[in-house]
Copies of this chain bind each other. A is one copy, B any other.
Amino acid sequence: MDSRIERLCVERGLKMTGQRRVIARVLSDAEDHPDVEELYRRATILDRNISIATVYRTVRLLEEKGILERRDFGGGRARYEPSEQGHHHHLIDVETGKVVEFEDAEHERALQAIAQRLGFELVSQRLELFGRRIPTGGRKPDGD
């Protein structure tokens, strides 16, 4: 079956090579925010015949096409996630690096107002929280 990302690629008129299909599948299956090296690792499991240069070229292309979004959570490497309509923000666990997503529609409006007050039209934003898990004796979550 075609992966979700692959369908988006076809819609955008991209030539679908075997490598792109594999990368598209890896991205479609990802529920975290992998960096290029991690994508490369997962891709080569499905098909040994992929070079990391192709992964770099592909994520860049997909970002230009609006299919992927590049994130920077510190640590010097870009991380990627499929674009979604409702944008969300990220809370990064400072001990494990795992990422939790959250939304905050109310804030969006407030931020827009702040930008306007400063004489700017808000183009985009970046809100990231860094936190430490509060022990609760609960179940361990999965994540990045």
The answer to the question of A61 belonging to the interface, with a C-beta cut-off of 8 Å to chain B, is no
Q: Give the interface residue-count category, chain A.
A: 20 to 34
Other-chain residue from B102, B114, B121 in contact with A102 (beta carbon distance below 8 A):
B114
Q: Is A104 on the interface with B (CB-CB < 8 A)?
A: yes
Q: Which of B115, B128, B138 contacts A131 (CB 8 A)?
A: B115
Q: Is the CB–CB distance between B119 and A136 below 8 Å?
A: yes
* Interface assignment of A16: CB less than 8 Å from any CB of chain B: no
Residues of B contacting A138 with CB < 8 Å?
A: 119
A64-92 CB contacts (< 8 Å) to partner B: 72, 74, 91
Q: Do A129 and B125 contact each other (CB < 8 Å), given the known contacts A100-B118, A107-B107?
A: yes
